[in-house]
Amino acid sequence: MRSASRAWLLALALAALPLTGATTTEGEPRRLYVQPSPLAGVIAGLGAAPAAARFDFAQLLIDALVTAYESELDPSAFEGRRDAADRRKLARWQQATLPLLAELRVAQAALYVASHVEVRTDRHNQILVLIDGRPLWVAWPRITAQPRLERELAAEFCRRHDCAGDGEDGSMRAALEPAGVQGHWALSQRHPPAWQTADGLRCEFADLADRGAKEATCRAIVADLHALAAVLREASRGGERVQWERLSLQADTGAGPQRVTVNERGDYVQAAVPALAANPVDWNAAGRWLQARAQGRPMTATVLPATRRR
């Protein structure tokens, strides 16, 4: 088990991403900022929380990790795999996952006899669980599912515990699911039907067929733009230069958080904005709205024009 533990810690340590200022070769694009985990606000308030609350949070987190890794080993995931190369790839993944799952189960059991449990983030903003001083870095098997899983964990913890008064700035409450986007349908003879928000974001559609799905699409785009605005604000606070007219989503970011280019050098921020990646967003309009928001100005922007194919 010691070798499995070492492999687990090494794998998760290598997976850690620095929050700002990643080192690159001179002249290469830099990663300026990485969107923090949705659990960051909860963890920030745990320092002053009772020991029972810290234990409960660690238990929720490790139980969710065990469930996530177990689902990756579900036999149904291997059904229908006829290609030999595909089967070999899945077998390698299973071999790598089994010791990680075993280590998680050891940590799960250790919680119940631990005298001290602590959860914090390290200097790379990686979540770290300390069980009687033994470190366990948190990494999910599928990066694409991480934001949703961590928001659900934050919401469940704050359902069990009063997060509103925890942390000097109420940071634990901020980790809950964001408030619903306020918007409405705008119909006129001069413009295509559109769903728009009170703060100026607008999605146009060719018609009103399947209105519920179209509204859901726009809500997801709006939520991603709000999240990206917060990421860009933090990057700007660090002194980084954002050229609003240069904002664009990089297409080759794989399954992880999306990369948004912010200047002519190609520097970028990383954020989970899947709706922006999945839809033909007008980045010129989005950039104008994001700049206006950063400057505290009202702005109306059609970020999803009806003329674009969807």
Q: Which residue has the higher pLDDT, 197 or 94?
A: 197
Q: Which residue has the higher pLDDT, 18 or 292?
A: 292
pLDDT in tens, 173-229: 444 444 467 899 999 888 899 999 999 999 999 999 999 999 999 999 999 999 999
- 80 band by pLDDT with thresholds 50, 70 and 90: low
Separation CA 99–CA 101 (nearest Å): 5
What is the model's pLDDT at position 180? 60
pLDDT in tens, 119-163: 998 776 789 999 999 999 898 888 778 878 888 898 899 889 877
What is the model's pLDDT at position 279? 94
Instruction: Output the 3-class SS for 235-260.
Output: HHHCCCCCCHHHCEECCCCCCCCEEE
Q: Which segments within 89-170 are labelled E, that is strand?
A: 117-121, 127-131, 134-137
For 206, residues 6+ apart whose C-beta sits below 8 A from its C-beta are 192, 306
88: left (phi over 0), alpha (psi -120 to 50) or beta: alpha
Separation CA 303–CA 284 (nearest Å): 8
pLDDT in tens, 265-298: 999 999 989 899 999 999 999 999 999 999 999 9
Separation CA 281–CA 289 (nearest Å): 12
The torsion angle over the Cα atoms of residues 197, 200, 205 and 210, rounded to 10 degrees, is: -10
**What is the average pLDDT score of the chain?**
82
What is the model's pLDDT at position 307? 66
Whether the CB-CB separation of 282 and 218 falls below 8 Å is answered with no
What is the model's pLDDT at position 2? 42
What is the model's pLDDT at position 237? 87
Q: Whole-model pTM?
A: 0.67
Separation CA 247–CA 281 (nearest Å): 12
